[in-house]
Amino acid sequence: MTLLDGKKVSKEIRDNLKEEIKSKHLKIKLAIIWVGNNEASSIYVNNKIKKCENAGIATELYHLDDTVEEEEVLRLIKKLNNDESVTGILVQSPLPKTIDEKKCFDLIAENKDVDGFSSISMGNLCLGNPHNVACTPKGIIRLLEAYNIDLEGLNVCLINRSNIVGKPLFHLLIAKNATVVMCHSKTENLAKITKEADVIISAVGKPHFITEDMVKKGAIVVDVGISRVDGKVIGDVDFDNVSKKASFITPVPGGVGPMTIAMVLDNLVNLAKEKKNG
């Protein structure tokens, strides 16, 4: 069994990006809009800021009260779209229910859409012209690539159909010539499907959702689940038992999570280079 060490791989990626930013004299600034005080968001936002700053990327945090009007958030996005000094804009999800998330994502200029959550970025990815690709899906692909895992012809069971993980990841996997089955809460006989899969990617958010008996010997297991139990972060996969059968497996934490943040930086560097090259 080989551990898919996202902590290590993401560190290498961030170090390379830092080097590239320095050598190419890229001036990069990320604007983050964070509404409310969701605890998980707080961790993500702080982590993104820290990793950006470490790599030589400036950040600007707009931390708004959760009573803020949608109109004000939209105004802020427009202002940042027009601000030449801003390379990328990131609206931290989830937003309060009073604010239309889709409207916010779609308003972000295509050349500043770090997260790739806008309809046009999603459409481009889906139709085979990826530009801004959502960070978690992109990070998963990069992690598998780091271990030279060739997805062509592999049967992938992807358990998630969200707009920010499952759907973009589906299209990345198809582009890699994998055969992909998308499973979700209405899927029947899930274990029958996982048991036949060469690759299982689970983003459910239920601790120990993927048990040993659901996994084929030699399978590649990617755990995108995040649950907090007694202050500890744990994934979807019963790691101790599943890791005995898997050929490759991500730990939680230290698997997909750090890859996501590295891809925020990667997307920012891409946007900065595009801007520089006009």
Which chain residues interact with a second copy by CB under 8 A?
Answer: 102, 118-124, 126-129, 152-153, 155, 161, 163, 167, 170-171, 174, 177-184, 186-188, 193
Measure Cα distances from 92 to 55, 76, 114, 252 in Å: 20, 14, 11, 22
What is the C-alpha separation between 90 and 73, in angstroms, rounded? 12
Catalytic, out of 29, 48, 51, 112 = 48
* Rounded least distance, CB 115 to a second copy, Å: 13
203's enclosing H/E stretch is none
Q: How far apart are CA 166 and CA 20, in angstroms?
A: 31
Q: Which is nearer to a second copy, 49 or 193 (CB)?
A: 193
Least separation, in Å, of the C-beta of 26 and a second copy? 27
Q: How far is the CB of 204 from a second copy (least distance, A)?
A: 14
The answer to whether 245 touches 218, Cβ cutoff 8 Å, is: yes
Which of 123/244 has CB closer to a second copy? Answer: 123
Q: Which of 51, 112, 113, 115 is catalytic?
A: 115
Active site (annotated) includes residue 22: no
Nearer to a second copy, 126 or 146 (CB): 126
Assess whether 103 carries a catalytic annotation: no
Q: Given the complex with a second copy, which of 101 and 238 has the nearer CB atom? A: 101
- Report the C-alpha gap between 193 and 200 in whole angstroms: 10
Q: What is the dihedral of CA 262, 263, 268, 270, to 10 degrees?
A: 120
**From the CB of 196, what's the least distance to a second copy, in Å?**
8
275 catalytic, yes or no?
A: no
Closest residue by Cα to residue 97 from 39, 162, 33, 35: 35
> Which residues are catalytically annotated?
48, 92, 115
